[in-house]
Amino acid sequence: MEKNPKKRMARVLDRLFELYPEVESALVTADPYQKLVATILSAQCTDERVNQVTPALFARFPDARALAAAEVEALERLIHSTGFYHAKARHLLGASARLVEHHGGEIPADMEALLALPGVARKTANCVLNDCFGIASGIVVDTHVARLARRLGFTGADKGRAEIIERDLMAVVPKKDWITVSHRLIAHGRAVCTARRPACAACPLCDLCPSAGHPDA
């Protein structure tokens, strides 16, 4: 197995490209506002569930100004099934109010401005900047990316240390691939390298993975 992590990652990226040449976010959104809201809702929730909730949410509150004026009880009813709905409603109301007050209701294409919004950490900010503005601000680290980064031996951090995992990945992934690498890792995590029963024997990355056959070691 290739010991140089950058060279091994290059081979991993080549194979992921072959496996998943066309990739995009699983969250169904039409603009930066929707991406921001959907990503906040996706915390501790599946993308499928978020996609079930957002059509009615966006029909009721189509932009940040409308959301900022929402009644908390009405908002909580709409997002209840995504879990942690009290906190998520509070974050959505706070973020939309700040967007209206400081950015004219528009989503800023700026990391610091996004991180100043309630409920927004680097994962959410990267999602918006990467997918909506094409800005390679970093690498989105969700539960799939964190799991594969550990199993593939590119980080020693546990899944709760997303910023460390992101830093470790950014050190070995070329910047031109920062936007797409997370989508491909997520696709592979869902299709092959699943959390409970990874299909190591059938995995095209098997010879590049130090955890092959014993992913929880």
Report the candidate in 166, 135, 131 with the shortest Cα–Cα distance to residue 26.
131
Q: What is the pLDDT of residues 33-92, one digit of tens each?
A: 999 999 999 999 999 999 999 999 999 999 999 999 999 999 999 999 999 999 999 999
As a whole number of angstroms, the distance between CA 143 and CA 194 comes to 11
* Tokens found for residue 14: 């080549």
The stretches of the chain forming alpha helices (DSSP H) are 5-19, 32-41, 47-60, 64-68, 72-79, 85-103, 111-115, 122-133, 143-151, 162-170, 178-191
142 noted as active-site residue: yes
Q: What is the pLDDT of residues 190-205, one digit of tens each?
A: 999 999 999 999 999 9
Quote the pLDDT of residue 215: 64
3 noted as active-site residue: no
Q: What is the pLDDT of residues 113-160, one digit of tens each?
A: 999 999 999 999 999 999 999 999 999 999 999 999 999 999 999 878
* Tokens found for residue 53: 């909730």
Domain with CATH 1.10.1670.10 in the chain: 5-23+139-208
Quote the pLDDT of residue 148: 97
Q: Read off the DSSP letter of residue 201.
A: G
Q: What is the pLDDT of residues 96-119, one digit of tens each?
A: 999 999 999 999 999 999 999 999
- Domain 5-23+139-208: which CATH number of 3.30.70.2190, 3.20.20.80, 1.10.3470.10, 1.10.1670.10: 1.10.1670.10
Sequential DSSP letters for 34-53: HHHHHHHHTTTS-HHHHHHH
Active-site residue among 131, 142, 168, 177? 142
State the average pLDDT over residues 13-27: 95
* Tokens found for residue 155: 């980080």
Quote the pLDDT of residue 159: 79
- For the 32-133 domain, the top CATH level (class) is mainly alpha
Quote the pLDDT of residue 115: 98
- pLDDT at 3 exceeding the cut of 90: no
As a whole number of angstroms, the distance between CA 26 and CA 40 comes to 14
As a whole number of angstroms, the distance between CA 188 and CA 215 comes to 14
**pLDDT band at 216; cut points 50, 70, 90:** low
Report the candidate in 10, 5, 17, 9 with the shortest Cα–Cα distance to residue 184.
17
- pLDDT at 217 exceeding the cut of 60: no
- pLDDT at 214 exceeding the cut of 90: no
Active-site residue among 123, 131, 168, 177? 123
Domain with CATH 1.10.340.30 in the chain: 32-133
As a whole number of angstroms, the distance between CA 47 and CA 183 comes to 13
